[in-house]
Structure 1
Amino acid sequence: MSAAQTSIPEDVAKSASEARDRLNEHTLKIVHWHFSEETGSPFWLEKKAELGFDPLTDVKSFDDLKKFPNFEDEWLRGGPIQRWVPKGHAGKPVYVFETGGTTGVPKSRMVIEDHWKDYELFSDTLPDEHFPPGSNWLMLGPSGPRRLRLAVEHLAQHRGGICFCIDLDPRWVVKLIKKGWMEHLEEYKKHCIDQAVTVLTAGHDIKCMFATPKLLESLGEALEDRGTSLQEVGIKGIFSGGTEFTPQWTRFCVEEMLGGPVEEGGVYMTPTYGNTLMGLACSKPITAADGYKISYYAPQPRAVTEVVSFDDYNQVVGFGETGRVKLYTLTDEFFVPGFMERDEGEREAPFDMYPWDGVSGVRPFHELASATTVGVY
């Protein structure tokens, strides 16, 4: 399906045009913040001299971000972390969240409140019927220096509940896989699931949870072995994330594990796509009629994803066509003018809920796939 064959309803096209105007306006504001002497971060103020153009005068719209070189993740390896803190936020408490780090120095991102804002926006998309306000949550995912753990806890608190967490070191999981110690891996996974089952069966009235697809599947099996299920222990709403989210897995999860669609099984599940740089992209509602296809939409204008040509990272592909995922982060805490993700997928058209481009079929970028170890995700 090419761009020419994709017919976007008139009302959606109008909303998409308005969203683009807001994105252009937001881009200008963020660029001025990060490159002004009074508010910018030491990193970007220093980088400004190398650019060959002046962001303050030469960036007039979102498309002008293509004048920047691609953001390199190596810039995030090592410190000092303070060079990323904008002067406009001086004196505020700063978090540091890490990603990667299985080998070598991990990538570090400074955060002040972005993870709170991202998950408050995400909270607005959750149906109260299945994520009842005031409910307690289980965080069945990575712990330690990871954004996700604190973000899910804030989501629970924002919705009036308390978050229960497990202890999980994803770096150890990846090391076990690379060493081929599959017996140890199974024991570690069992250790994590045992923690989750203990919390869920301890009378804490937990109704909502986050889990990675692999851990959600293992949890369902562990509860079944004990003669119970996610529904019977009280779970009503699940949000999940990770590259393991495929239409095949989603069909299995909904039909086999959750007892059918939400109106039959009683458990609502929504996939998400996110990372430490971007935050969280929501999924278009999943239906059996649509073959359980998963399409993600970034939280524009705070973050933008494009699906770009494998041959030219400044060229967006047509709707339905395949390309590599390119990410932009545009907040007053962090500025990423074009980062090439380790993922590829298909470009999706805007729709009424998210009137901007999305991406479906997300999977490891084919040129890197053989070197990618998925781990708990």
Structure 2
Amino acid sequence: MSSVQTKADKAREVLNEQTLKMVHWHFSDKTGSPFWLEKKAELKFDPLTEVKSFEDLKKFPLFEDDWLRGGPVRRWVPQGLAGKPVYVFETGGTTGVPKSRAVVEDHWTDYELFSHTLPEKYFPKGANWLMLGPSGPRRLRLAVEHLAQYRGGICFCIDLDPRWVVKLIKKGWMEHLEAYKQHCVDQAVTVLTANHDVKCMFATPKLLESLGEALEEKGTSLPEMGITGIFSGGTEFTPQWTRYAVEELLGGPPEEGGVYMTPTYGNTLMGLACSKPVTAEDNYKISYYAPQPRAVTEVVDMDDHTQVVGYGETGRVKLYTLTDEFFVPGFLERDEGEREAPYDTYPWDGVSGVRPYHKLASGTTVGVY
């Protein structure tokens, strides 16, 4: 048996243990949240006796993100965490009531785990960070700041309201959109040119590209400004874009240009999935692996979400979240992709080629992401 298979079997055992532990936490009267304790009465089975492994989560109906629209938000806070300070993070919200998630420390934990995957040569401990992404009630902004602090640095943030961006797009106000994007990029340029010794940053692909162009107009570049590590995320992260970014914006691969860029795939429900290192030899293919056992992604049949597709085959992304703060026993993402095999660093299934789900794609407004 290969070492990857041995690791994969062990990872599955750990996932089964986590599933059992989290189901008992969320459905026990002492520790569960009001939402799940109420939902338990509607289920056609008893989670406390009938869930024995991760596979048994398929007994639950799909999680509906509309459950997260509107309050009271405290119904999501497990009684086992009573008395702890609670954050509320919003997602979407371009029309109607946004989805909101109550969080205690999950965003810290997720980004501390992610921190351990970053190569120190390019993300040096103690380095300051720039957060070139959404602000306001977004998890990402506080999470990146925590990541910087956890690694011993200070985070510089900008003001960016993604809801305003989406409104501009929907109204067709492209001149205003361009001006707002420039406003955001100008803030980043100001930070980078103010002698703050920023070496690492988060940016969405579109904003990273605009920042690179703005610096080029000033006769400089990201490497010349001292940036060595970039973490980025968003559905715009394609192999084509990655090739452009590496070759045009970053001066070549890390060993040549001195800048290491890592793509991530995440959201307010799941947390953060890391990517296998992206290389020119592999045609800049991007494969994401969820932070098991805290979250799991599956690539499932388009017509039957209980069936996982074969390796290399295309399906819809299905998400599970299994932390003591939040329980999602299966949610169909607005994304599709190809199922990837486990490998040494992440010995469980991954997903590559992530893109908007084809049946929803035409109705999705991406905005700055």
**TM-score of Structure 1 vs Structure 2, range by shorter chain:** over 0.9
1:166 pairs with 2:158: yes
Q: TM-score, normalised by structure 1?
A: 0.98
Q: Given residue 293 of structure 1, which amino acid in structure 2 is its aligned partner?
A: K
| Cα offset, 1:259, TM superposition | 0.6
Aligned to 2:210: 218
1:145 pairs with 2:143: no
Map 1:48-67 onto structure 2 (within 5 A).
48-67=40-59
Q: Give runs of ≥4 in structure 1 deviating > 6 Å.
A: none
1:157 pairs with 2:149: yes
Secondary structure of the 2:19 match is helix
2:124 paired residue among 126, 132, 148: 132
Q: Deviations over 1:212-270 (max 9, x none)?
A: 00000000000000011101111000000000000000000001111110011010000
Map 1:84-95 onto structure 2 (within 5 A).
84-95=76-87
Aligned to 2:190: 198
Map 1:6-155 onto structure 2 (within 5 A).
10-155=2-147
| Cα offset, 1:39, TM superposition | 0.1
Aligned to 2:340: 348
Distance 2:56 2:181 in 1: 46
Q: Given residue 200 of structure 1, which amino acid in structure 2 is its aligned partner?
A: L
| Cα offset, 1:373, TM superposition | 0.4
Secondary structure of the 1:289 match is coil
Q: Percent identity?
A: 83
Q: Given residue 75 of structure 2, which amino acid in structure 1 is its aligned partner?
A: R
Secondary structure of the 1:195 match is helix
Secondary structure of the 1:255 match is helix
Aligned to 2:355: 363
Q: Given residue 346 of structure 1, which amino acid in structure 2 is its aligned partner?
A: E
Map 1:263-282 onto structure 2 (within 5 A).
263-282=255-274
Distance 2:282 2:123 in 1: 24
Distance 2:344 2:224 in 1: 35
2:324 paired residue among 326, 332, 336: 332
Secondary structure of the 2:281 match is helix
| Cα offset, 1:10, TM superposition | 1.0
Aligned to 1:5: none
Q: How many residues align?
A: 369
Distance 2:290 2:167 in 1: 31
Distance 1:223 1:19 in 2: 44
Distance 1:164 1:257 in 2: 21
- Stretches of structure 1 that go unaligned for 5 or more consecutive residues are 1-8
1:183 paired residue among 175, 182, 193: 175
Distance 1:343 1:374 in 2: 12
Secondary structure of the 1:332 match is coil
Q: Given residue 140 of structure 1, which amino acid in structure 2 is its aligned partner?
A: L
Q: Given residue 235 of structure 2, which amino acid in structure 1 is its aligned partner?
A: T
| Cα offset, 1:45, TM superposition | 0.1
| Cα offset, 1:311, TM superposition | 1.0
Q: Deviations over 1:144-170 (max 9, x none)?
A: 000000000000000000000000000
Distance 1:299 1:84 in 2: 22
Q: Deviations over 1:246-295 (max 9, x none)?
A: 00000000011111100110100000000000000000001101000000
Q: Given residue 171 of structure 2, which amino acid in structure 1 is its aligned partner?
A: K
Aligned to 2:249: 257
Distance 2:321 2:138 in 1: 18
Q: Root-mean-square deviation (CA), in Å?
A: 0.5
Secondary structure of the 1:299 match is coil
2:224 paired residue among 232, 235, 248: 232
Secondary structure of the 2:188 match is helix
Distance 1:310 1:87 in 2: 36
Q: Deviations over 1:340-373 (max 9, x none)?
A: 0000000000000000000000000000000000
- Stretches of structure 2 that go unaligned for 5 or more consecutive residues are none
Q: Given residue 261 of structure 1, which amino acid in structure 2 is its aligned partner?
A: P
Distance 1:102 1:159 in 2: 33
Q: Deviations over 1:108-138 (max 9, x none)?
A: 0000000000000000000110000000000
1:296 pairs with 2:303: no
Secondary structure of the 2:100 match is strand
Distance 2:190 2:228 in 1: 18
Distance 2:308 2:44 in 1: 24
